[in-house]
Structure formats: structure tokens, C-alpha cells
Amino acid sequence: MQPHLPEPQALVALVDALRALPGVGVRTARRMAYHLLQHDPDAAHNLSNALELALNNLQHCEKCNGFTQEVICPTCVSPNRDTSLLCVVETAADQNIIESTHNYKGLYFVLMGRIAPLEGMGANEIQLARLLERACDGLVREVILATNFTAEGDTTAHYLSEVLRAKGLSVTRIARGVPAGSEIEYVDAGTVAWALMERKPA
């Protein structure tokens, strides 16, 4: 729905700016703008400031490439992590989910993307050189590839495994299968097919 009113320019500009958020169309953007202006101007100020603060204060960790306010992030400098394990993820969100399992004590490398030739994402865009340097620090023994099980995530994992193995590193991929707690009847057939193919001794 295009606007039909002679809307004030500042409102049009705000709606346009909100549309840059992922998953936000013009209708949602307009609802957000009206909400902020009418009911929550404090939140609007707060969001404006938080955006500037984040842009000015966040950088990529020199070791893991994740977002941090320091040169090296708290996770990478922690003495409690296993320096022989390096888990490669596509995004900081994926890293977060793995951390939430409380089951992994190694370190991370955040690609901040994945190889997707159609989108112009190649080895350079995913900072391959930095990953190789990181993985070859002499401490890392195993690189765990935790990219998504999508076409691009699989391509990325395949490519990285070749390159990292050539460096003499042990490379593994997280398991693909039926989600824990789910009933097979309700899982998509592709997933079940993978779970069958990648079956393990019981």
C-alpha cells in the first residue's frame, strides 16, 4: 500500500528508514512509526541513541570476528575455554545458540555470512584468510563447522573443510538429523532422509 495522504516528509523518511530492517515492509514500518511517535517517543529517542552508540562502539574481535567493544572479546580472552577447539558459525546469533547449550567450551570464529556466489559472497567476503590464520595458531586441533544446513551453509562447510584439511587440521561438521523432542511424523521428509543416511550405531 503506497501512501495516499500528503504525509509529512519527516514521517515518510522515518517509514523508509524503518523498512531497512529485515522483514519489515511498508505497512509494518508505518505501524512502527505511528507507534513510536504517538505512544513511545522515549523509545524512539532511545533507539536513535542505541544505533549511534552501537555503530561507534562495536568492532569485530581480532580473533573470532564477533562483535565486541574491545580489540579481543571476552570469550576469546577467557582462560576457561578449550583452545584446541574452534567452532565456525555463520552469525553471532548462531554462536549465541551454541553457547546457550552450555555444552561447548571451545572457541569460535564468526564468518558473518556464508559463501553464496549468487549474492556475490565468496571466500574473501567470509574472511577466509583471517579464519585460516586463526585456525593455524598451533593450538587449534579440531575445527567444528556449524554453518547452517542450507544450500549455502553446506557449500560453505564443504569449501572450508577442504581448505582447513589441507592445513593438516581435523575438521568436523555438526550432526544433521531429527530435532530432539520431535515426533518423526511431523518432521519434514528431507530431514528424516538425512537422519537415516547419517545413522549411527545404537
Q: Which chain residues interact with a second copy by CB under 8 A? A: 1-11, 13-14, 16-18, 20-23, 28, 30-38, 40-41, 43-58, 67-70, 73-75, 91-93, 95-97, 99-100, 102, 112-113
For Zn ion, give the closer residue by CB, 61 or 86: 61
Is residue 79 within 8 A of residue 56, CB to CB? The reply is no
For residues 69 and 170, which CB has a smaller minimum distance to a second copy in the complex? 69
Task: State the binding string over 42-81 for Zn ion (x if CB under 5 A, else -).
Answer: -------------------x-xx--------x--x-----
* Farthest-apart Cα atoms in the chain, separation: 68
In the bound state with Zn ion, the residue whose beta carbon lies nearer, of 89 and 160, is: 89
Q: Residue 97 binds which one of Zn ion, a second copy, none, with CB within 5 to 8 A depending on kind? A: a second copy
Q: Name the nearest CA neighbour of 60 among 99, 108, 94, 105.
A: 108
Nearer to a second copy, 43 or 151 (CB): 43
Q: Which residues contact 91 (CB under 8 A, 6 or more apart)?
A: 110, 111, 112, 113
Q: How far is the CB of 202 from a second copy (least distance, A)?
A: 31
Determine phi and psi for 106, rounding to 5 degrees.
-80, -165
Cα–Cα distance measured from residue 138 to residue 85, given in angstroms and rounded to the nearest whole number: 11
Number of residues that bind Zn ion (CB under 5 A): 5
**What is the residue type of 187?**
V
Q: Nearest Cα to 71, choosing from 63, 79, 83?
A: 63
List binders of Zn ion among 74-133 (CB under 5 A). Answer: 76
* Min CB(73)–Zn ion separation in Å: 3
> Is-contact 163 130, C-beta < 8 A?
no
Identity of the residue, 76 or 87, whose beta carbon is nearer to Zn ion in the bound complex: 76
End-to-end CA distance of the chain: 56
57 binds, among Zn ion, a second copy, none (CB under 5 to 8 A by kind): a second copy
Q: Considering just the CA atoms, what is the radius of gyration of the chain in Å?
A: 21
Question: Which among a second copy, Zn ion, none contacts residue 64 (Cβ within 5 to 8 A by kind)?
Answer: Zn ion
**Residue ranges that bind Zn ion, judged by CB under 5 A:** 61, 63-64, 73, 76
